[in-house]
Amino acid sequence: MTGPEAETRSIVIERDLAHPPEKVWRALTVPYLIEEWLMKNAFAPVTGHRFELSAEWGKVECEVLDVAPHERLSYSWGDHDLKSIVTWTLVPTEAGTRLRMEQTGFKPDQPRYFHGARAGWPSFLDRLENVLARAA
């Protein structure tokens, strides 16, 4: 497919966190911590691992695509219509970690998914920051 219909949209959010990459990585990869800021899950940081994220509104089907401990994590995120990829990048800083979340793959005819993700990710990341502040 070529032309405008082949183009997809992405969401990128970056946050500077006052926590080391190891602590941020733990919050991104330990199931009970993921549940506190994102959704219920059976996540494992293993390439090829399939899992679901579930909330009151439904489920998201996922598969781990890339794991580089304390640096990068990528997984598919979708349902029968949406086929997207979420990639987390952790970069050490003097004050802690710069966390970058990018979700790619929103088709132009999927505004509900795009706008839902654009509205949802900032609140998920706010909750992640709260988990990091509480977690040992």
What is the structure's pLDDT at 136?
A: 58
What is the structure's pLDDT at 135?
A: 75
pLDDT range class, residue 57, cuts 50, 70, 90 = confident
Tens digits of residue pLDDT in 75-132: 999 998 999 999 999 999 999 999 999 999 999 999 999 999 999 999 999 999 999 9
User: What single DSSP character describes residue 10?
Assistant: E
Domains belonging to the chain, first-starting first, are: 8-134 (3.30.530.20)
In this prediction the pTM is 0.93
Tens digits of residue pLDDT in 22-56: 999 999 999 999 999 999 999 999 999 999 999 98
DSSP of 57-126: TEEEEEEEEEEETTTEEEEEEE-SS-EEEEEEEEEEETTEEEEEEEEEEE-TT-HHHHHHHHHHHHHHHH
Burial of 101-115, coded b for 16+ CB within 10 Å and e otherwise, reads bbbebbbeebeebbe
Region 7-11: mean pLDDT is 95
pLDDT range class, residue 6, cuts 50, 70, 90 = low
